[in-house]
Amino acid sequence: MTEQWIKGCAVQRIAFRDGLVLNMEDYNELVISAPLALTLPATETDPQEVVMINPTNVLKQERPLFDFAGQKCTQAEWDETGSLHLAFADGHRIDVPTDQEHTSWELYGKSHGYAACLPHGRVRVVRHDLPDDQAVNS
């Protein structure tokens, strides 16, 4: 797995435009356009629950489930298949599998670079905060 620079950053804003958009501290933006599994943390009255959501077509009743603005990202990794795994301080989790036909997710960092999971799970990374010999991974 590869850990990303958004670990430790707080979610500043959550929006829905061409997918789920998480604006985070340090001028980072994550756009998720593939169907995802959203894990909702347990509450006093309800157990933990996993909800499947299509971020390009979020239903009105699903929008309140994304109530974790202000939370810090405690895990931000992708695995060898390109699947993205995020966790937040309040217990919310987002897991995004790869899409065989489309880009699943894109991470933009003004201070760091760009990463994306292209079709078939190929992850492309371009970093401008690292030495040239470490800056590109395809």
How many Å apart are CA 21 and CA 133, to the nearest integer? 31
The boundaries of the domain holding residue 24 are 2-137
Give the CA angle between residues 8, 96, 114 to the nearest 5°.
55
- 54-99 pLDDT per residue, tens: 999 999 999 999 999 999 999 999 999 999 999 999 999 999 999 9
pTM of the model: 0.89
- 50-63 pLDDT per residue, tens: 999 999 999 999 99
137: its two tokens: 């991974």
- Contact assessment for residue 67 and residue 43, using Cβ atoms and an 8 Å cutoff: no
Number of domains, the chain:
1
- Contact assessment for residue 104 and residue 124, using Cβ atoms and an 8 Å cutoff: no
How many Å apart are CA 128 and CA 110, to the nearest integer? 9
